[in-house]
Amino acid sequence: MWCTRSAAERVYLTRMLISMSIYVLVTAIVSWIFAHRHPQGALVYLLAVLPALPIFAVIASLGKYLVEEKDEFVRTVLVQCSLWATAVVLAFTTCLGSLQKYVPSLNKSPGPQNYWVFVVWCLAFAAAQPLVRRRYK
Amino acid sequence: MKNRLRVLRAEKNWSQADLAERLEVSRQSVNAIETGKFDPSLPLAFRLARLFEMTLEQIFIDDGST
């Protein structure tokens, strides 16, 4: 069954859950501080970058999973999904950049925030899994 | 790469899950190797050979495709 999880995958999912929980908590706290305490100076930069740190942990946990997973077939699938996700993000951001450059109405709009790049990568990574696995059935 | 894994497994009366457990890989790995859609690494191929007490050439068929 596809749902059988290896030890490495269970560790990876635990790390992901912890990192994402910290992300939600830190984001909530930072948002509250910006809304109610109005920080100034260097503290603004420090607080603003805090929610990104748990996302670094998410990226690192995926990297560690790739190293720790003993099943070479699973590793192959993961690497291919990562490549697909990276390709989607590169195509998406390139297309968006081109649209913003040449379409006057889009040129003036700020467009999506950069942190959406990781969200798009994750969505593409998840979407690629069944497609990549289907190739090997 | 083509191989005789499905036949060899059937001779032992093992399911894909049984073989996967013996190799310490996922059942999907066994299925992908059996169908020739995934070529195992050399260490995994040798583990297969040891398990079936055969040489690599007796399990895998070199059709010159890769």
Residue type, A128: A
- The reply to whether A91 and A136 lie within a common domain is yes
Question: Could you list the pLDDT tens digit for every one of the 137 residues in chain A?
Answer: 445 788 999 999 999 999 999 999 999 999 999 999 999 999 999 999 999 999 999 999 999 999 999 999 999 999 999 999 999 999 999 999 899 889 888 877 777 888 889 999 999 999 999 999 999 88
- The reply to whether A57 and A75 lie within a common domain is no
Does the beta-carbon distance from A137 to B41 stay under 8 Å?
A: no
Domain boundary among A69, A100, A117: A69
- The reply to whether A84 and A58 lie within a common domain is no
CA A28 to centroid of chain Cα atoms: 18
Torsion of CA B7, B10, B11, B16, to 10 degrees: 110
Per the structure, the count of domains in chain A is: 2
- The reply to whether A93 and A57 lie within a common domain is no
Domain boundary among A17, A37, A69: A69
Picking from A10, A72, A135, A137 by the largest number of B CB atoms within 10 A of its own CB, the best residue to mutate is A72
Does the beta-carbon distance from A4 to B27 stay under 8 Å?
A: yes
- The reply to whether A10 and A46 lie within a common domain is yes
The predicted pLDDT at position A3 comes to 52
Q: Pick from B26, B41, B44: which is nearest to A74 by CB? A: B26
Residue of A nearest to B31 (CA): A137
Q: Which residues of chain A have a Cβ shorter than 8 Å from any chain B Cβ? A: 1-2, 4, 6, 70-74, 76, 133, 135-137
Sign of the C-alpha dihedral, residues A118, A122, A116, A53? negative
Chain A closest-CA separation from residue B12 CA (Å): 21
- The reply to whether A128 and A92 lie within a common domain is yes
| Burial (Cβ within 10 Å: 0-12, 13-18, ≥19) of residue A65 | buried
Interface confidence, given as ipTM, is: 0.86
Using a cut of 0.95, tell me whether the model's pTM lies above it. Answer: no
- The reply to whether A8 and A61 lie within a common domain is yes
Query: What's the domain range around A117?
Result: 71-137
Chain B closest-CA separation from residue A39 CA (Å): 51
- The reply to whether A85 and A23 lie within a common domain is no
Please answer whether residues B66 and B2 qualify as being in contact, where contact means their C-beta atoms are separated by less than 8 angstroms. Answer: no
Q: Which residues of B touch A132 (CB under 8 A)?
A: none
Domain boundary among A34, A53, A69: A69
- The reply to whether A117 and A75 lie within a common domain is yes
- The reply to whether A114 and A61 lie within a common domain is no
B41 touches chain A (CB under 8 A): yes
- The reply to whether A39 and A93 lie within a common domain is no
- The reply to whether A38 and A84 lie within a common domain is no
